[in-house]
Amino acid sequence: MTTVIGKNLDHIGTALSVDVEDWFHTDCLRGVIARETWDDCELRVERNTMRMLEILDACKARATFFVLGWVAERCPNLVRAIAVAGHEVASHGYGHEHVYSLRPSEFQSDVLRSKRCLEDLTGKPVRGYRAPCFSITEWAIPILQDAGFDYDSSAVPTVAHDRYGRLDGMHAGRPIVLLREGFYEAGISCLPLGMGKRGIPWGGGGYFRLVPYALWLMGVYTILRSGTPYIFYIHPWEIDPGQPRAAGVDFANEFRQRVNLHRCEERFASLVGAFEWTPICELIDRWKAGDSRLLH
């Protein structure tokens, strides 16, 4: 029944994305794993991402992979494999720094380094960007456009969050927004709260691992039934319950990092099989072309 419901609503638009970073890049471990020790950590991102590619291939699903430049430099064959499989390769920046923690010049250097690396590996233009921890800011948008991106996918129109950034004009019921002439925002899906602009995060991450799968699917169905496209995200480390445990992590961050890791691969595979997924760039192109089913 789940698959039937999903397939019947595919015309609304369902976009799947993967933020390609490793277990030690997360904010939950920022305070206990120093940046200068990353090269000493066990690299698990390649095997986990390849497993995701297998799941997507089995369902003939296509996605957007927002690849961290740091990962791309160390796993160039992984980036090539993503592109050869027909998925969109996009940028997650280079060093996994919060956008709002950088000066504009530092942010520009970070995204250009990542974009050039990914384009050199794939031979194709990189159109999309996603900020680490969704830490997007208003001042970053013109820098992204000047760097050659034509969309961002970092806004989460929810209530206050300790890590997320904020963009003006976003609405939980309108995930695709023209921010500037020729530049679009594809926000992460939220369940709208009444008639307000904010909603409950329903686009992936720890929320996807925490909420019972049947309830999660009901929420996706509710979003699609409203005529709103659905945009989902996940990280490769979220399907890896065998990832190392770092010493000194407090309870809250340990919970965020590890809750239901042992169930996530099965849930991900079920969700992939439930809908007809497309890359975010194609969802935006349909919006730009005036697909009435995506317009509000």
Q: What residues contact 160, with CB distance under 8 A and at least 6 apart?
A: none
The H or E element spanning position 185 is strand 183-186
The predicted structure's pLDDT at residue 12: 77
Cβ–Cβ < 8 Å for 7, 276? yes
Tell me the mean pLDDT in the region 41-58: 98
Using alpha carbons, select from 8, 144, 17 the residue that is nearest to residue 88: 17
Over residues 149-171, the pLDDT tens digits come to 999 999 988 765 556 667 777 77
Q: Which of 74, 64, 78 lies closest to 25 in space, CA to CA?
A: 74
Task: Identify the CA nearest to 197 among candidates 174, 179, 225, 221.
Answer: 174
pLDDT at 170: 78
**Whole-number mean pLDDT of the chain?**
91
Q: Collapse the DSSP code of 235 into the 3-class scheme (helix H, G, I; strand E, B; otherwise coil) and give the result.
A: coil
Q: What pTM was computed for the model?
A: 0.93
Torsion 59-173-100-133 (CA) sign: negative
Angle between helices 45-58 and 261-274 (to 10 degrees): 30
> What mean pLDDT comes out for the span 175-203?
87
Tens of pLDDT, residue by residue over 198-257, are 888 899 999 999 999 999 999 999 999 988 999 999 999 999 999 999 999 999 999 999
